[in-house]
A and B are shown apart, each in its own frame.
Chain A
């Protein structure tokens, strides 16, 4: 999804310290050169297929379909190397970092998926790597922390704020400001200053392309495409395959958390207002005094107060319907998919799945595609805890 000079309608822009502007310009130039150069695109595609495991299948989930009365298709991004869609973007940006002759990459991570994917790409391309992670997330996602370290990355727990994703991004920006000459900030979602939203969406567009090709092969269009939305990268990935098909309904599902009260959720597009946060103008969960709100979700990859500017634009144009499901509904959907299909999903796409299962009446007889953006191994601790609490 191309921007108009860094903006999507009124959303986007470059709201970062002046010192980063030359780095963003350099990145923009490199990215444009990259996507216009057949050799780089071919190299990127080769890594995606031979290293990351693309294309991923679309699986028609027979058992759930039968029980709920619709045709459920799962785009199996959970089968990718490192267990989530994030690897598309980290390989792309690592290639760009190499192209820009940066020897070091830094990244933020929430659930740890982007951190692992970044550490993986850094190992592959011989880049020094530091990952910033809120210390609360470090506790919640220990298996991923261990993986990042094994891969040679330095993991820095961030103790500021709520000690989650927002604070990890702030810490990364501060590092980038300090080390901008030799460092590329490998941002993990379609948020942040231009050109990140456009570039990250570009690297993830392959998900939507593959899904669209699958349905073309079947001679049908899905009636509805559903994806979870935290920062918004997996959703942008799959939506891009269908944005120009007006008959395909697009649904973005945010984290409704414990409740819709301020601080209890991360439903930015449902509950937020326009604001400027971490590089872009977009919707933002904020209080009456213009301060960024605390957020909560059972899923460490969704609890973010901001949202990529493309999603804000798609909300306002009405092209995508944004909604939310709560922690409990996501956990139920997690168990449903695990038991009925033998697929353990991450808690993030469990939100997309939950919305779908909860709307079986509306979707009766329809063809519904859910982006299964990651696998659930990393969430087993959380699942165990919640199962214990339920007893």
Chain B
């Protein structure tokens, strides 16, 4: 389960599409498209800057959703990553109806597992990807199993996007084992994967990984992104 995060509509529609196709044709299993929100509390400076620039260029949630529609025929699995307010204030049901059938799940970094039911009860028919972290307790795992998502998003650092993971820390290895033993989800490791070596390490202890910051850093140059994606898969 190898995945890439791209900031939706960044740096412009055409370049974004080129980047999308670069990911879709480079052996990756899924792509996360970010819908911009101007208070991105879980994002580090690189992604926050891309979001800021997109919004400055007039990118709206609607436009990014249109973009996802236009890329529907691509076979790669698609996820949306966006903040709770975008879905809530757009209208939870309306948001769901716009994207239903197109997505494998939604990742909402400021919607912890225990709040996810509020969105489902109010009309969200797309699975919300549950989170696991270094702070996850065994008692939290029950909630994860209730999710309709195929994956669980494991945040391997205490920090924001762009931080560095230590894939050899016994704490991290232990947590992932705990999750795998107690849930039926594939454990995808996000936050802190930069190099091909990181990616290999992540695949050894988990079922997959997502790269965000290092991909967004190259989103202005689809060729550079393509080279980078190759280096991740080697």
Contact assessment for A180 and B114 in the assembled complex, using a CB-CB cutoff below 8 Å: no
Q: Which residues of A contact B88 (CB under 8 A)?
A: 274-276, 281
How far, in angstroms, from A177 to B115 measured CA to CA in the complex? 18
Contact assessment for B134 and A292 in the assembled complex, using a CB-CB cutoff below 8 Å: no
Contact assessment for B118 and A13 in the assembled complex, using a CB-CB cutoff below 8 Å: yes
Q: How far is the CB of A24 from chain B (nearest CB, A)?
A: 9
Contact assessment for B84 and A276 in the assembled complex, using a CB-CB cutoff below 8 Å: yes
Contact assessment for A179 and B84 in the assembled complex, using a CB-CB cutoff below 8 Å: no
Contact assessment for B118 and A21 in the assembled complex, using a CB-CB cutoff below 8 Å: no
Contact assessment for B114 and A21 in the assembled complex, using a CB-CB cutoff below 8 Å: yes
**Segment 267-281 of A: residues with Cβ below 8 Å from B:** 273-279, 281
Interface pick from A144-152, A227-235, A282-290, A369-377: A282-290
Across the A-B interface, how many residue pairs have beta carbons closer than 8 Å? 108
Nearest A-chain residue to B109, judged by Cβ: A17
B158 contact from A161, A179, A275, Cβ within 8 A: A179
Asked, given contacts A18-B155, A290-B61, whether A13 binds B42 with beta carbons under 8 Å apart, the answer is no
Interface pick from B16-24, B33-41, B180-188: B33-41
Nearest A-chain residue to B83, judged by Cβ: A276
Contact assessment for A19 and B41 in the assembled complex, using a CB-CB cutoff below 8 Å: no
How far, in angstroms, from A20 to B118 measured CA to CA in the complex? 19
**Segment 34-89 of B: residues with Cβ below 8 Å from A:** 36-42, 48, 52, 55, 60-62, 83-86, 88-89
B135 close to chain A: CB less than 8 A: yes
Asked, given contacts A19-B134, A180-B158, A275-B89, whether A14 binds B112 with beta carbons under 8 Å apart, the answer is yes
B221 close to chain A: CB less than 8 A: no
Interface pick from A120-128, A132-140, A166-174, A212-220: A166-174
In the complex, which range does the number of interface residues on chain B fall in? 35 or more
Contact assessment for A177 and B158 in the assembled complex, using a CB-CB cutoff below 8 Å: yes
Contact assessment for A177 and B85 in the assembled complex, using a CB-CB cutoff below 8 Å: no
How far, in angstroms, from A369 to B87 measured CA to CA in the complex? 41
A14 contact from B40, B83, B114, B155, Cβ within 8 A: B114
Contact assessment for A161 and B38 in the assembled complex, using a CB-CB cutoff below 8 Å: yes
Contact assessment for B38 and A177 in the assembled complex, using a CB-CB cutoff below 8 Å: no
How far, in angstroms, from A291 to B60 measured CA to CA in the complex? 9
A178 close to chain B: CB less than 8 A: yes
Contact assessment for B39 and A170 in the assembled complex, using a CB-CB cutoff below 8 Å: yes
Contact assessment for A22 and B42 in the assembled complex, using a CB-CB cutoff below 8 Å: no
Q: Which residues of A contact B137 (CB under 8 A)?
A: 22
Contact assessment for A18 and B118 in the assembled complex, using a CB-CB cutoff below 8 Å: no
B133 close to chain A: CB less than 8 A: yes
Contact assessment for A174 and B85 in the assembled complex, using a CB-CB cutoff below 8 Å: no
Contact assessment for B135 and A173 in the assembled complex, using a CB-CB cutoff below 8 Å: no
Enumerate the 5 nearest inter-chain pairs by beta-carbon distance, A residue then B residue, closest first.
A18-B131, A290-B89, A19-B133, A178-B159, A276-B84
Residues of B within 8 A of A (CB): 36-42, 48, 52, 55, 60-62, 83-86, 88-90, 109-115, 118, 131-137, 140, 155, 158-160, 163
26 A–B contacts from the bound complex (CB under 8 Å): A13-B115, A15-B84, A16-B110, A17-B41, A17-B42, A17-B133, A17-B155, A18-B136, A19-B131, A19-B133, A19-B155, A21-B135, A160-B52, A170-B39, A174-B41, A178-B160, A180-B158, A273-B89, A274-B88, A276-B88, A284-B89, A286-B85, A290-B85, A290-B89, A291-B38, A292-B39
Q: A166-B39, A180-B158 are in contact. List 11 more A-B contacts (CB 8 A).
A: A14-B115, A17-B110, A18-B155, A19-B134, A21-B113, A161-B39, A170-B41, A177-B158, A181-B158, A292-B38, A292-B85
